[in-house]
Structure 1
């Protein structure tokens, strides 16, 4: 699979999702969290574009490449999705700044908290794998004819 091209595609898709989220911010239970969801989509889309741009420099085994790719997608799309869910539900347990005084049903708070923890772990894992894949010297590239 061409991970580089797929990451670039998903980066643009998530960037667009973030832009569209921004267009409907006022319709969420928690407008400030909806703004955060908009920014998460745009920033995580940009992050995927950046990773796609450097993917040819990442030196990982096939298994580690697959893990990094899926951790990136789960973490970035998940970040937007969980933040959007928090905006819809109006949860506030993990976001006192964007949810000032808000809280939702306990099961909703627990669901959003579990989501944020999961995506946090996915992004950390992906970052560690990328850093590992970028260690050492670059492989020389033959000049184009």
Structure 2
């Protein structure tokens, strides 16, 4: 696939998965009172909505990111992973009442297995999203400089 087709493919996928995640965030909002930790349920709702909007925004600016094909592919997959891992980690915490890494949202300590999953997702998604931001910022900066030449 040539580079412009790859960007179009990624753009369309970011838009699709962004709207899907936004929808899932709205859907979770309907079940907040049924969760073991409703405060974490609200957090899940907000994470789904906000990360969905992030993916849509990335999809809308994707053509303006000037990086190599490798870095573009890396940013694409890490943004999808980070957005959905965030939603899933907080959803697991809301349903189980676990999530000691998120005490502000009322997370209590759960089983070692569940805490391990939540902790892995939270740490890995933070690293993924920081990497995405660095790649996107550098790509937009390059795009700005190319336009002014």
Which TM-score applies when normalising by structure 2?
Answer: 0.87
Could you say what secondary structure the match of 2:76 adopts?
helix
Q: Unaligned 5+ residue runs, structure 1?
A: 141-145
Q: CA deviation at 1:110?
A: 2.4
Distance 2:141 2:99 in 1: 39
Distance 1:92 1:50 in 2: 29
Number of equivalent positions: 139
Counterpart of 2:94 in structure 1 is: 87
The 8 Å contact of residues 99 and 118 in structure 2, kept in 1 or not, is answered as no
CA RMSD of aligned residues (A): 1.4
Q: Deviations over 1:14-63 (max 9, x none)?
A: 10010001011112111110110000000000011111111111011111
Q: Unaligned 5+ residue runs, structure 2?
A: 1-5
Q: CA deviation at 1:104?
A: 1.2
Distance 1:97 1:37 in 2: 13
Counterpart of 1:113 in structure 2 is: 119
Q: CA deviation at 1:108?
A: 1.9
Please give the residue correspondences for 1:26-105 in structure 2 after superposition, counting only pairs within 5 Å. 26-99=33-106, 102-105=108-111
If each structure's helix is expressed as a fraction of its own residues, which one has the higher value?
A: 2
The 8 Å contact of residues 40 and 93 in structure 2, kept in 1 or not, is answered as yes
